[in-house]
Homo-oligomer: A and B are copies of this chain.
């Protein structure tokens, strides 16, 4: 066992009900750190490209990293990795909460599930005791209920990862819930469906072993210095949650509305803002493991139409996707839809995007009441929002189609509905607009899991967060393409490290320095990584992910933004908007990355990153 790591990974063959543990490889830990990076390496080595995402051949990997379980700040995170049923490509889905650190306390860095259980099962890990149990009595329970039931059967203090009915039914936007009612979700890219395809209802963990840290005193003192800086820089987020930006995002044009068609929605934004939540339904904050920010919302609605909502409140992404994207301006309705998503276990972003898509298809006459089960899919309709959310979660009616994501839905509906199916590589866009923060165009286009704002986290540098460490001393011009390709690549590499350590990306808003993370990592592991080596690991991870997708035929032709984002000006915004120059940014991006103009890492780059053995299968594809 080496410091910073539990030293073991659980390997579970669900088909054969066989469980074994394997030592965590120190060599791989040094090359890929943990979390997203280490999981990507296992995935790359073991999942053949032709694997069907919902077949037993897919792996479902839960992995955390050296920070988890230590006193490193905001480190209560882990990564879920598999082949995505939504995109057909490599996917990672990262969750907060306390599950990751609890796994570490149990003496494990990760769990790799393969195969498929014949009957529903759940896994119970208590330190070295690893057990598969029947979950037949849990099948059909919603995710909140599952969390409660599993804890009742195991340990009240156990941490549970579980799916709701959507995952069981292989809904392609299904998510994995952690922390019960506090709902930390591994939400994106349909990882819940992969869990369901394995007949795996839950994974409960409880541990009692502290994580060995190489220089514990040093870590303590480093953390102590940094914490107040982070706290003082994130007070607005603490007070109003991630939704603190709703109103300003409406002004800047970052907030998408009406399926990315509309440019202003002032009154609506006010009604669903973080301030509004604080004034009305908010009851407390929630903190993931070791968190000093506390952006999580806990809400409760006790009267009226939506009485009963109780638990995790909607994040910014959720407020936007279930709110502004559908023009729904009732915060309580959004909170209810959020809870429905959590209980069924579906991604709020993809769900909201699918509903907005359906509303537009309805408006254009491409679907009718006959298709919706008599529901009028009017913009802003709370009833439509909630009905469709439930139908997607339950895989019923038109929800069967919408739950496959907007790409598949548009293929089915046809008649040019592809025009307003807003996705990249099959993953629905998150709720920040590349027409306001232009870097997002290239960041979304090149994200390895499809349209993603978290692989890059580039837009803060164009909004209000200069990043002097990469030389961006002032806020970048949000509308200008210059320099955005390079900045995006740099941030993507860094974010690979955040996801692998793991560390919450909101530390960026807390003005954390790369050196802080590096110092923590060295103190925890006893390594003496330089800043350059640290960032190189991030680059290695990102390139490895790209290599997997390359095997599946992904290249520049797939690194494209949806037509609406490319060319719809949102005329109601006047001059306060732009259209992203994707060609220029992509060209700069590839060049900075040392990729060919077709988006393929060169041999020289693979050599430099020590990835030459991980070349994509079919060497002929290499120019």
Contacts and interface: CB of A to CB of B under 8 A. Distances in A.
A567 B583 contact: yes
A556 B420 CA distance: 11
Contacts of A586: 566-567
A450 interface: no
Nearest to A419: B598
A582 B553 contact: no
A569 interface: yes
A6 to B, nearest CB: 40
Interface in A388-403: none
B597 A416 contact: no
A194 B181 CA distance: 66
Contact of A555 (B419, B553, B591, B597): B419
B414 A553 contact: yes
B553 A567 contact: no
Nearest to A619: B365
Contacts of A568: 587, 597
Interface in A12-64: none
B618 A415 contact: yes
B582 A566 contact: yes
A209 interface: no
Interface string A405-426: 0000000001110111000000
A461 interface: no
On chain A, which size bracket covers the interface?
35 or more
A590 B571 CA distance: 13
List the number of copies, as a whole number.
2
A587 B566 CA distance: 8
A356 to B, nearest CB: 16
A370 interface: no
A364 B620 contact: yes
A583 to B, nearest CB: 4
A579 interface: yes
A584 interface: yes
Contact of A584 (B420, B563, B579, B591): B579
Contacts of A305: none
Give the top 6 A-B pairs by smallest Cβ distance, nearest first: A566-B583, A365-B620, A579-B583, A567-B586, A568-B597, A567-B587
Given A364-B623, A416-B600, A567-B587, 14 more contacts: A364-B621, A415-B621, A416-B557, A416-B598, A419-B598, A420-B598, A560-B563, A564-B598, A567-B583, A567-B584, A567-B590, A579-B584, A581-B581, A582-B583
18 contacts: A364-B621, A365-B620, A415-B553, A415-B618, A415-B621, A416-B555, A416-B557, A416-B600, A556-B563, A560-B563, A564-B597, A564-B598, A567-B587, A569-B597, A579-B581, A579-B587, A580-B583, A582-B583
